Structure 1
Amino acid sequence: MSLSQDIPLSHVKGEVSHWNKHDTSWMLSLFGTAVGAGILFLPINIGAGGFWSLVIMALLAGPMTFLAHRGLARFVLSSSKTNADFTDVVEEHFGTSAGRLISILYFLSIFPILLIYGVGLTNTVNSFIVNQLGADEPSRVLLSGGLVFGMIAIMMAGEKVMLKAFELIVYPLAAILAGLSLYLVPNWQMPTSLAIPQWGSFSITVWLAIPVTVFAFSHAAAISSFANAQRRHYGQQAVPKSEQILKRTSVMLISFVLFFVFSCVLSLSPEQLQEAKAQNVSVLSYLANVHHSPFIVSLGPLIAFIAISSSFLGHFMGARESLNGMLQKQSQMAPAKLDKLGIAFMFVAIWFAAIMNPSILGMMEALSGPVIAMILFVMPMLAVYKVDALKAYRGRFSTIFILLMGLLAVSAIVFKLI
């Protein structure tokens, strides 16, 4: 049972040229999926590579984000089945065995991130209660259970409720990001030297920054549900409408996130950025210490909570659909029962991880990275040359560009792991 089938959005087909509330809701949900807690480390991770590395990544971020997610949406919509999810599409195009392997890897690339967000959400709220409110530390079992249950309850309530939740979460997130970026403008300081570094070390720095950029703007976990919702809502016009929504999502992401990144980076010297990276703290924590600003200190937990919540919802949507698709291939049980069984499994697993608070989750995120890069960048582009429904996109610059970026991202991740 796909999330997009929970509650119909409309019985009336929309028009591609007309932008409506349905489109805005999905744009915000994709934005929220992309902007997770990692945004608080993004300025340091990218900025520590130097000014020119930051500039190049900023120029590449827009095309990479839009073209890659457009390719994945096209891949999902290329199925001959009208209600095919990601699992159905990969089996249709790559065969049963390869399709199931890809589906399993896809689920395993999303699910560890959900566990990480369960831990992060619990730690953020626990820290806020103790440090900001001055209260006693609550029971971690009850706190984590309540938070995870609340997040999952939103998804269980159906698509309309989920999209409304994204609206309530993303607007404050975007406003805070913009406000904080503007707040830091008086502290901007341009680099003392704008000389381009030696090509050897510079190219390696840029290469290793590609995966950071890929995942900072990734909303791949929600693309399958998103594409199916557009197919149900717009019928034969689902492809152009999906591209329109994805384009505006990318513009919104690039505008708010890059402004935040540049504002943070220009507020710190290269030496400070390297120090922050060595300390492995979020950019808000470091900025608060440097500027002695209680305003920044107070915003840290709020941004973290909102960002983790929005990204949790988007990743849960992808994990739920992927798990349901795999279970339905292996069982004759009714889809509704399988959906409840899958949700119960994920609730228990996320709750358990949040209680245990393991440090190994960072490594799990790193291991899921290559799979996300393969599925978001490489696989849809290879499908262009294999699937007749996508043959119109063969030989295009965008196809070659995304395939190249995907291979660079995967190789950089593997290099870091080694």
Structure 2
Amino acid sequence: MSNTDATLVGQKAESQWRKSDTTWTLGLFGTAIGAGVLFFPIRAGYGGLIPILIMLFLAFPIAFYCHRALARLCLSGSNPSGNITETVEEHFGKTGGVVITFLYFFAICPLLWIYGVTITNTFMTFWENQLQLMPLNRGIVALFLLLLMAFVIYFGKDLMVKVMSYLVFPFIACLVLISVSLIPYWNSAVIDQVSLSDISFTGSDGILVTVWLGISIMVFSFNFSPIVSSFVVSKREEYEQDFGKQYTEDKCSKIISRASMLMVAVVMFFAFSCLFTLSPQNMAEAKAQNIPVLSYLANHFSSMSGTKSTFATTLEYGASIIALVAIFKSFFGHYLGTLEGLNGLVLKFGYKGDKTKVSGGKLNLISMVFIMGSTWVVAYANPNILDLIEAMGAPIIASLLCLLPMYAIRKTPALAKYKGKTENIFVTVIGLLTILNIVYKLI
């Protein structure tokens, strides 16, 4: 075989899209689609049509450029099998590894608090509105739900992981089905309220502030950063030795791009379908009631007068059940990451003895008591979920997803080739705007 023929064979092999690439595309997509998606339509639709159209324009760049930046950081390590912690330690020393451990823990733990509030409110609204039963004590409901999840986690973690992995795509299918089924109920209320003379760009209800806060929810809802490190390691081990690092990076970018397109298509279609079915006033009510949009839709169809369609009757009961399953799924997935992070922090800073003699079961139990205890306190306090996302969850995710890779590009020789690229400015601005939500909430 001539050199030219060998080159052509190599190029053909490189251009092939493998089954593993499709698997990872769906894996990234499935990781991002969780309970956070149920709050995005509320924030996006809260300001009406114009802000959500701007968010539609921003959605793909936020999802793609931010996750690609994190993937590039993971790819920059010298060890193809090294995860993000090892890569950061390679670039910034052990201090960097400690920072990553803190970020991972504090990026995931507030999400559990959010899900604790969400599942309590979702269950209580289903109990009172769909089942028409007497109101229950909030503290007891939250404690019961968390103890139920703790029991499942402690005695059936392996089964739980398997079940949750099977629930990802049925949940996505339900979202798509609901989005399509809502089309007959679309109305022009959100369009009728658009008045060019009344448009305000500033102020607490202005377009700029609404989009700014919406960016935080997009960072939160379109987030598959917890799995990026594992994804990059898998692709490096599969491609790097045969085709080189640049090809591996290009393949990772294509996979992230396709996962982002799928994610944006599903979530934005769901958001628009909800917005055209409800109204900005309905979204404001959902925010005030502190419930996910599916629960509000269930109550909305429950209150309809006259003869109801089969879909309306099904959604009245099914929406809350789908929301509960989605929240359980997200809670379990994030619990494992929180447990791992807290165990690491305890061993690093809270335990002075021989770490090899620490009982894994005892450590897991201590961490579980702290995680579930703090989640119960927050669930009982019932802070506004969107405010909690904007003030805690999204800013910490943004620091890991956006600002850490941008800092590494400026300081690390292995990433120097990415300096000066236009998308770096975009990713940095998104990260800063998301983090500045903390300041906005304090003012």
TM-score normalised by L of structure 1: 0.80
CA contact (8 A) 2:298 2:319 kept: no
- 1:128-148 CA-to-partner distances (Å, cap 9, x unmatched) read 789878999999767644433
Counterpart of 1:315, as a letter, is: H
1:306 maps to which of 321, 325, 337:
325
Bigger Cα displacement from structure 2, 139-148 vs 129-138: 129-138
Residue 105 in 1 paired to residue 103 in 2? yes
Q: Secondary structure at the match of 1:358?
A: helix
Residue 183 in 1 paired to residue 208 in 2? no
Bigger Cα displacement from structure 2, 391-400 vs 95-104: 95-104
Residue 398 in 1 paired to residue 423 in 2? yes
Q: 5+ unaligned residues in a row in structure 2: which ranges?
A: 1-12, 305-311
* 2:298 paired residue number: 288
Q: Percent identity?
A: 38
Distance 1:248 1:226 in 2: 14
Distance 1:343 1:239 in 2: 37
User: What is the Cα deviation at residue 316 of structure 1?
Assistant: 3.8
Residue 412 in 1 paired to residue 441 in 2? no
CA contact (8 A) 2:32 2:224 kept: yes
Q: Secondary structure at the match of 1:199?
A: coil
* 1:352 paired residue number: 373
1:263 maps to which of 265, 268, 273:
273
2:399 maps to which of 359, 363, 374:
374
Q: Secondary structure at the match of 2:411?
A: coil
Residue 168 in 1 paired to residue 189 in 2? no
> Which structure has the larger Rg over C-alpha atoms?
2
Q: 5+ unaligned residues in a row in structure 1: which ranges?
A: 1-13
* 2:288 paired residue number: 278
- 1:25-60 CA-to-partner distances (Å, cap 9, x unmatched) read 444443343233232222121111121100010110
Distance 1:405 1:16 in 2: 33
Residue 385 in 1 paired to residue 415 in 2? no
Alignment of 1:59-70 (within 5 A): 59-70=57-68
Counterpart of 1:186, as a letter, is: P
Distance 2:151 2:276 in 1: 40
CA 1:318–1:84: 2 relative to 1, 3 Å? farther
CA contact (8 A) 2:116 2:376 kept: no
Distance 1:105 1:339 in 2: 23
CA contact (8 A) 1:79 1:92 kept: yes
CA contact (8 A) 1:155 1:317 kept: no
Counterpart of 1:348, as a letter, is: V
Alignment of 1:189-338 (within 5 A): 189-190=187-188, 191-192=191-192, 194-196=194-196, 197-200=199-202, 201-236=206-241, 238-291=248-301, 292=304, 293-319=312-338, 322-323=341-342, 333-334=355-356
CA contact (8 A) 2:51 2:210 kept: yes
CA contact (8 A) 1:69 1:220 kept: yes
Q: Secondary structure at the match of 2:16?
A: coil
- 1:178-216 CA-to-partner distances (Å, cap 9, x unmatched) read 111111112222302545523333222222221122112
Distance 2:288 2:121 in 1: 22
Distance 2:119 2:282 in 1: 28
Q: Secondary structure at the match of 1:89?
A: helix
CA contact (8 A) 1:16 1:240 kept: no
Residue 41 in 1 paired to residue 43 in 2? no
Q: Secondary structure at the match of 2:380?
A: coil
- 1:239-292 CA-to-partner distances (Å, cap 9, x unmatched) read 344333322221221111111100000112333333333333332333334343
- 1:1-37 CA-to-partner distances (Å, cap 9, x unmatched) read xxxxxxxxxxxxx9773332x4444444433432332
TM-score normalised by L of structure 2: 0.76
Count of aligned pairs between the two proteins: 399
Distance 2:426 2:359 in 1: 39
Distance 1:402 1:317 in 2: 28
